[in-house]
Amino acid sequence: MSPGMRGTPPRQAAQARSAPVFALVTLTLIGAALAAPWLAPQDPYDLANLLLDHARLSPLTRDEAGMLHLLGSDDQGRDVLSAILYGLRVSLGVASAGTTLALAAGLTAGLCAAWHGGRTDAMLMRLVDLQLSFPTILVALMLMAALGQGPDKVVIAIAVSQWAYYARTVRGSARVELQRDYIAAARGLALPTRRIVVRHLLPNCLAPVIVLATAQMAAAISLEATLSFLGLGVPVTRPSLGLLIANGAQYVFAGQYWMSLWPGVVLLATIVAIQQAGHWAGRKAAGGGASR
Amino acid sequence: MTIDPGQGGAVRTISVWSRAHRGLCTACAGILAAAVAGAAILPAPARALEPARPPLRIGLAGEPTTLDPHAVNIAPNNALAWHLFEALTHVDAKTRLVPGLALSWQALSPTEWEFRLRPGVRFHDGSAFDAEDVVASIERARRLPNGQFGSFVQRISDLRIIDPYTLRITTAQPHAALPLDLDSIFIISRRHAKASSDAFDRGEAAVGTGPWRLRRFSRGERVELDRNDDFHGVLPDWASAELRVYGAERARMAALLGGDVDLIESVPGADLVRLRTNPRFAIEQAVSWRTLFFHADERVPENAAPRSHPLADPRVRQALSLAIDRRAIVGRLLDGAGRPASNLVAPGVFGHDSTLAVPRFDPALARQLLAEAGFPGGFDLTLAAPNNRYPGDARIAQAVAAMFARVGVRVRLVTLPVNVYLPRARRGEFALALLGWGSFSADLALRSLVATRDPSRGNGGWNWSYYSSPEVDRLLDAAAGEFDPERREATVRRAMRQAMNDLAVIPLHHTMASWAMTRGLRYTARTDEFTFAHEVHPATERR
Amino acid sequence: MGYGALVRIAQSLLTLLAMSVLVFVAIYLIGNPIELLVPPQANQAEMARAAQALGLDQPLPVQYLHFLGQALKGDLGRSFTSNAPALTVIFERMPATLELALAAALIAVGLGIPLGLWSAFADGHPASRATLGLATLGFSMPTFWIALLLVMVFSVQLEWLPSGGRDASATLLGWRTSLASWQGLAHLAMPACSLALFKLALIIRVTYAATIDTLRLDHVRQARARGLSPARILWAHVLKNIGAPLLNVIGLEFGALVAFSVVTETVFAWPGMGRLLIDAINTLDRPVIVAYLLLTVVLFTLINLAVDIACLAIDPRLREARGR
């Protein structure tokens, strides 16, 4: 899903006030994901913990071993709360790896286009335009079809379907920077290209891209969830939030909603929080004037 | 024989190859059997029907991909073809061979057969059926480019028409299974012998002798049929029928619940529970011809460390089998849509050994056996399964992995789409590999799955465990040369017992085939899982 | 414009070519479709014969060139699984997908523009804020999750709507469609709504933003100050200004609707071409995957062209700007 929020700078003071809340939620979720092994009542990755006799218990039920399943258990006997905490780890991990890779690729392409200009620029930007005219899901689907499944493949799919956003943004700001005096000065000193680009140009183009990356991170989480939901993502023994939802989906129809519902709620909270936190950071970075 | 039909109507590969062996027994009793069963199919007077009864609407799980009966050999296509066409021989709901367009058959010599055809049969276009049509159909099946039915007739070396209703078929080698092979060759009118698959799909060539005529075929969506009032057998109870395709379980259930269809096949396990308590619907369920099991790779490469290949030790395989809680899998994971297995073939199938007991669930004993075999701390292995082939396949594999983990065996679980899975499993990449097999005859199943690998004789083609037992091989050979059905079955049973006791495969369960229908309908569950509109009846004579 | 269109078309052709190579090579690498296409008991000779019949025994470049030659003649090969022409298979599924995308687009546009306009005119009103907030939420919800929520509420709890499938038994102008019967619409409602939500949110925001910008223009403010009625302002100023950006969004997003129907069709078992793509990926049905892709590229190109032309038509300023 493209994050292309093409809205005006939101003027609602309420939104500005709620922004730190989203940041806090984001941090909490990240913290929970990192601390999953200590927080989770069960280690869902240890298959020996999964008993079919404890499968599909509804929320707030105790299993025969006396363990309380706060959010119920899934079809394999996995504690849903534990699965969510570990799943969050997978979702965030895969999405941030994908985002980082996309960022790196986009930065390289964008700087390259801006620095060389001319033909290189035209070619790269044409490629960017072309890619952006296709929905990310389609690009990702094709990649998964070609590469096969696994978290590493999802990371690649995320990177390939998102690099273009970064490339465009970086190129834009790099072209502006290239007009500035300090670059001319650096060129005058006949510094090596690599040094000018890495030491001078790059740091000055970074701010808007980092902001973009925050928003894109939300899109990446959503993309990973969608791919896993379609059965083209992460392996079944280490489910992400998207796969948990998919696994539980068939029981939704039989009225056993909790296997899908709770992972979904957490997924949604994660996406919204990260996206909003990203926007907030974006507005701050843009000069803070927008939020009164 | 099939590697099993997929979930939700993905590609189903089915061939009747294995029924052939079943045929060996019945075929010997050729004429007798034919005469007895033939009586059952003789024309019966059509029942008085309510004139305005709405069409019978059936929700199918698998999508028929073409109306060309000689093109793609998958279950949904074959099921549909049986509505429009017939073959020389048929298989009934319990997998017994019965007459079709041939009234009787007889082996004149080990390589020559004589088929007596049913007189007075007419194709949907009014033309009469005779031996010319049979010859044309066999030739077309053999020659159609990309046709997947050629293997059923490849042993035929000559076809000779004696008179319009007598056909002699010569085979290159003795081939007692011929009558069952011919159950897979649908008879088309000779006028359409040169028709392309597209001509069939457009309907112009889809002219058979079956109980239904084609009205309309929209691929991937529905097939509309009208009763063939000239049908020579029992007429369908409905004047018209619609077979609608709902590949996804969800859509199929919704269609039944919403009253869009009257009957669906392949009911999702989770919904069976709900449907059983719903007074509006009835359920028909039976153990199908499909068994799920694991092959455990027993190979030990030369100069390998003795303890590096634990699966070669029968005690280890025994331990793995004891570690599996089959009742929990069937009960909790499949919601009862299966039955724990002790055999490679379903109960009732030729060669099933009912003296074999379902392996116990005994993790303590499993751990003890592992310790005795020298693995007190367990070991690591790769367990693989397809994820879109059998009902619940990936979930079953995951549950088994968890059960192994509890006796100390650390599992790396691999689940793959079947088309990626099969080639890799065939190359022996997995220590434990899940496979499903449907068979009407245990000896053929054993021959493919556990006989010593011998490509020249077509043995052990699917023997992924590389199990090799001279005793089993000897018994299977003995069975192939045994023409008395009872003695033959006894021999096959001994082979089965031996293989299962050696844990040539680790059996899991037999799947169940299920149908759900609105109350007021009746359908007799078929072992081959086919859904036939002409075998659906009102539960009572009057609605 | 003519030159631009030519460039666009040339670009699209190049994309088509690149895509076809990519898909071809990739699918060749992951697995051998022959394994699936022959009966399980087939021996080596039979497999070789089947491979030969399908041309799968040739080296990859030869296979590709052959494919290209056929494609130029309008033949994209036959589906490995159904043996029918790949394009036919897709075209048979296309009406279902287009119907779904169209319904979703209607919902998104029909609700999105009025809501966006209203939010802008009533800017600051709590209800306006709530609408915008919900739109933000709609942005973030993965399509499949919305779909499941709808099922939980409307199928399982309330039992109002069927949880899947399509009913196109009724005809409209000779076209079998779910739009022609209540049954059909009941089946269509949830898939269309869940697919529409993201676009709805987008359109609300775009409309809102464009309208707010327009309302801030000096002459519009003066007009408002003079007491011109909101309806008048809407017609005279706002709609003219927001037309082009909206058309752009709607056009582009229609393509995205078609692409995202892959997800919706999976949840609701909607028998469209998105579901077909997933099945084809699972069965390595190369001709169908390639044909789907090429078709999508063509579709997108056409949509983009149409949007460009429509924008030029409604907004003369663009015409001058592009005149160069």
Contact present, B311 and A38 (Cβ < 8 Å) = no
* Banded model confidence at residue A220, pLDDT cuts 50, 70, 90: very high
Q: What share of chain B is helix, strand, coil (3-state, %, to 5)?
A: 35, 25, 40
Contact present, A288 and A9 (Cβ < 8 Å) = no
Three-class secondary structure assignment of C140-151: HCCHHHHHHHHH
Q: Can you list the positions of beta strands (E) in A105-161?
A: none
Contact present, B179 and B97 (Cβ < 8 Å) = yes
Question: Which among B516, B513, B442 is positioned nearest to B479, based on CA atoms?
Answer: B442
- The mean pLDDT value of chain A amounts to 83
Give B80 to chain A, closest Cα distance, Å: 28
Which of the residues C115, C129, C144 would you substitute to probe the A interface, choosing the one with the greatest number of A C-beta atoms within 10 Å? C144
Contact present, B449 and B470 (Cβ < 8 Å) = no
Q: Determine the 3-state secondary structure of B159 from DSSP.
A: strand
Cβ distance of A48 and B402 shorter than 8 Å: yes
pLDDT given for residue A16 in this prediction: 61
Which domains occur in chain C, in start order?
A: 2-72 (no CATH), 87-323 (1.10.3720.10)
pLDDT given for residue A118 in this prediction: 85
| Least confident residue range of B11-25, B162-176, C173-187, C213-227 | B11-25
Chain B residues touching A55 at Cβ < 8 A = 332-333
Instruction: Report domain extents, chain A.
Output: 22-29+70-288
Cβ distance of A53 and B332 shorter than 8 Å: yes
pLDDT given for residue B31 in this prediction: 41
Chains interfacing with B (3 or more CB pairs < 8 Å): A, C
| Least confident residue range of A161-175, B318-332, C282-296 | C282-296
- The mean pLDDT value of chain B amounts to 84
Cβ distance of C84 and B65 shorter than 8 Å: yes
d(CA C202, CA C249): 8
Q: Which two tokens stand for residue B478?
A: 């003995």
* Banded model confidence at residue A15, pLDDT cuts 50, 70, 90: low
Cβ distance of B254 and C163 shorter than 8 Å: yes
Maximal CA-CA distance, chain B: 78
d(CA A88, CA A92): 6
Give C155 to chain A, closest Cα distance, Å: 8
> Cα C97 from chain centroid?
8
Which of the residues C13, C21, C148 would you substitute to probe the A interface, choosing the one with the greatest number of A C-beta atoms within 10 Å? C148
d(CA B76, CA B82): 10
* Banded model confidence at residue B44, pLDDT cuts 50, 70, 90: very low
pLDDT given for residue B227 in this prediction: 96
pLDDT given for residue B211 in this prediction: 97
Question: For A36-47, what is each residue's pLDDT tens digit?
Answer: 899 988 888 888
d(CA A223, CA B399): 28
pLDDT given for residue B473 in this prediction: 94
pLDDT given for residue C181 in this prediction: 81
Of C270, C275, C283, the CB nearest to B419: C283
| pLDDT exceeds cutoff 80 at B418 | no
pLDDT given for residue B370 in this prediction: 95
Of B273, B399, B405, the CB nearest to A48: B405
| pLDDT exceeds cutoff 60 at A1 | no
Mark which residues 68-97 of C lie under 8 Å from B by CB.
Answer: 79, 81-84, 89, 92-93
Q: Which residue of A has its CA nearest to B416?
A: A149
ipTM: 0.78
Which has the higher per-residue pLDDT, C46 or B44? Answer: C46
End-to-end CA gap in chain C: 10
Alpha helices in B195-248 (DSSP H): 197-202
Chain C residues touching B419 at Cβ < 8 A = 31, 33, 35-36, 282-284
Continuous segment of H or E residues that includes residue C197: helix C182-216
Assess B423–C contact: CB distance below 8 Å, yes or no.
Answer: yes
pLDDT given for residue A94 in this prediction: 95
Q: What is the mean pLDDT of residues A61-67?
A: 84
* Banded model confidence at residue B36, pLDDT cuts 50, 70, 90: very low
d(CA C178, CA C169): 7
Contact present, B325 and B465 (Cβ < 8 Å) = no
CB atoms within 10 A of CB B36: 12
| Segments of chain C with pLDDT less than 50 | 320-324
Count Cβ atoms within 10 A of the Cβ of residue A66 and give its class: 0-12 exposed, 13-18 middle, 19 or more buried: exposed
| pLDDT exceeds cutoff 90 at B168 | yes
Of A141, A245, A275, the CB nearest to C148: A245
Cβ distance of C92 and B220 shorter than 8 Å: yes
Backbone angles phi, psi at A115, to 5 degrees: -70, -50
| pLDDT exceeds cutoff 70 at A14 | no
d(CA B219, CA B208): 19
CB atoms within 10 A of CB A176: 12
Count Cβ atoms within 10 A of the Cβ of residue B51 and give its class: 0-12 exposed, 13-18 middle, 19 or more buried: exposed
Contact present, B221 and B201 (Cβ < 8 Å) = no
d(CA C88, CA C75): 10
pLDDT given for residue B543 in this prediction: 39
Q: Which residue of B has its CA nearest to C36?
A: B419
pLDDT given for residue B23 in this prediction: 39
pLDDT given for residue B475 in this prediction: 93
Contact present, A13 and A51 (Cβ < 8 Å) = no
Cβ distance of B413 and A235 shorter than 8 Å: yes
* Banded model confidence at residue B43, pLDDT cuts 50, 70, 90: very low
Contact present, B70 and B128 (Cβ < 8 Å) = no
Residue C2's identity, in one-letter code, is G
Q: Could you give the angle at which helices A118-132 and A80-116 cross, rounded to 10 degrees?
A: 150
Contact present, B43 and B122 (Cβ < 8 Å) = no
Question: For B506-535, what is each residue's pLDDT tens digit?
Answer: 999 999 999 999 999 999 998 888 999 999
pLDDT given for residue C42 in this prediction: 59
Cβ distance of A254 and B395 shorter than 8 Å: no
Q: Could you give the angle at which helices B470-480 and B442-449 cross, rounded to 10 degrees?
A: 140
Contact present, B420 and B328 (Cβ < 8 Å) = no
DSSP state of B535: G
Contact present, C100 and C260 (Cβ < 8 Å) = no
Question: For A245-266, what is each residue's pLDDT tens digit?
Answer: 988 888 887 778 899 899 999 9
Which residues lie across from B281 on neighbouring strands?
Answer: B518
* Banded model confidence at residue B185, pLDDT cuts 50, 70, 90: very high
DSSP state of C163: S
Count Cβ atoms within 10 A of the Cβ of residue A231 and give its class: 0-12 exposed, 13-18 middle, 19 or more buried: buried
Assess B439–C contact: CB distance below 8 Å, yes or no.
Answer: no
Cβ distance of A254 and B402 shorter than 8 Å: no
d(CA C291, CA B20): 40
DSSP state of B87: B
| pLDDT exceeds cutoff 60 at B32 | no
Assess B196–C contact: CB distance below 8 Å, yes or no.
Answer: no
| Least confident residue range of B107-111, B168-172, C12-16, C257-261 | C12-16
Residue A100's identity, in one-letter code, is T
Q: What is the mean pLDDT of residues B315-329?
A: 95
**CA distances (Å), B221 to each of A233, B242, C162, C166, C223, in order?**
29, 10, 18, 10, 57
| pLDDT exceeds cutoff 50 at B377 | yes
Q: Which two tokens stand for residue B12?
A: 């189903």
Question: For B432-459, what is each residue's pLDDT tens digit?
Answer: 999 988 777 788 789 889 999 887 766 7
Q: What is the mean pLDDT of residues B297-317?
A: 86
CATH superfamily to which A22-29+70-288 belongs = MetI-like (1.10.3720.10)
Q: Which two tokens stand for residue B198?
A: 């597209």
